[in-house]
Structure 1
């Protein structure tokens, strides 16, 4: 079994497309409007932005948390600034010998999104 899709609420699909395109550095893979669905491919897992979906807390792996925030520009709302939450001594949850850094932002639709990055120590 594998995760196939995660849904996130979006009122304005155009605005959400611009926000997530900047964050993910990728264009949407599909738009179906109506009924109000926008999809991105995240390495085989679909991110569905849906007018009818509830908000969820989605964590996205990025190469560099600070660089991702810079791409989004000064207007992005940072809920929690980048900070180290865990040092990986082994590879159970992430690459051994790396600190896991997280930040939380508010997307264009009001959802909280977690960003995760790893740094060698």
Structure 2
């Protein structure tokens, strides 16, 4: 009998379900004194209030490649390169007021929004014979 190569054939389908599972935390601050152009507004963690209206004790860590921070001053989103975010119990938020910009006035609201994602996926493979 001559040699031959046998080919095995199998077909399968795979279904994957992915959930993003975001966690959103917001922190609120009212500027105490005017911050002029060329200066930086620094807000310590304890100066923020949480959504519950109590003083914050820690700023959330950012999940690597699965998080972002938004900062709003008087309801306007601040450019990312003007913001420095430090997490933890000694955390703080720094907002640079560029030269040539209008000052941030006293009593202006600042909102910090921290979003972390904890994605998960499940896959099911069904072999069709």
TM-score, normalized by length of structure 2? Answer: 0.24
Say which structure is richer in helix.
1
Q: Compare relative contact order (CA 8 Å, sep 6+) and give the higher one, 1 or 2.
A: 2
**Of the two, which has the highest radius of gyration?**
2
TM-score (norm 1): 0.25
